Amino acid sequence: MKWVWLCVTTIHCSAVLAADVFEVLAVEYPPFTSSRTGDGGLAFQILRQAFPEYNFKPYMVPPKRAYQMMQNGQWCMSFYPSSPGTASHKIVLSAHQIGIGLIRSRQTEPFKWGKLDELAGLHVALLRSGEGSAFVNKFNQAGLLITYTETIQQSIDLMLRKRVDVAMYDDYNYKKLPAALQQQIQFSETMLLQTPVTLFANPDCHGPLPKKIKLHTLPAAISIPVPPASD
């Protein structure tokens, strides 16, 4: 059984490496997806638990390229989220909801907002994507100044070096930061979104995966290495 990538005219289409090996589009977002681990990260661990009869291979690309590939239909499975207007099936893999919010240098007052435009004028670090991204447009429309990064490690480093005021981050990674670093960083009480670990499947590809499966929990004890701030 082979899964061939959806072909687009004038765009090169590559087949999967071998029978029963399925490529999954992903970006560097440890511990969930990462090329620095032998298994691809937590999301791939959960995916393999859900579908032990299949072999999955991470296909790691920069965030902007992942966005463009999905917009152009050059994908079959992805951990990079599909944007509105991109047809996809969502396969929920985890019972745990991951909260996506913002981090900043710790302050005495609570870090929350009613509307995003209350943060207008702040510099925010976001993972790079396409200019048409609906998620990014929310920040542009709210009047925040965007600095794009390739990884969340770069985002947190920019915030610690005071190159940006706030950075997108998630509560799972935040809880795994060293205690000393947590004392320097404040995670927002307001969430931008909450999502389980989700696999996106292109409906134009004829894949074998069912839509409903047993949900898995995320492991509790994962240490997240974070590079020290530098001038």
State what percent of residues in the chain have pLDDT above 70: 79
Q: What is the pLDDT of residues 170-220, one digit of tens each?
A: 999 999 999 999 999 999 999 999 999 999 988 888 665 544 445 444 444
Encoding tokens for residue 168?
């997108």
Sketch out the chain's domains with CATH numbers: 97-193 (3.40.190.10)
For residue 73, give the DSSP letter.
Answer: T
Instruction: Cite the beta strand spans of 27-165 per DSSP E.
Output: 55-60, 77-78, 89-105, 123-127, 145-149
User: Angle CA(5)–CA(204)–CA(30) in degrees, nearest 5?
Assistant: 60
106 vs 52, higher pLDDT: 106
The pTM of the full predicted model, rounded to 2 decimals, is 0.74
Mean pLDDT of 35-42: 88
Q: What is the pLDDT of residues 74-124, one digit of tens each?
A: 998 999 998 877 888 888 888 889 999 999 999 999 999 999 999 999 999
Q: Which residues of 152-162 are buried (b: 16+ CB within 10 A; e: fewer)?
A: bbbbbbbbbee
3-state secondary structure of 30: coil
3/5 Cα distance (integer angstroms): 7
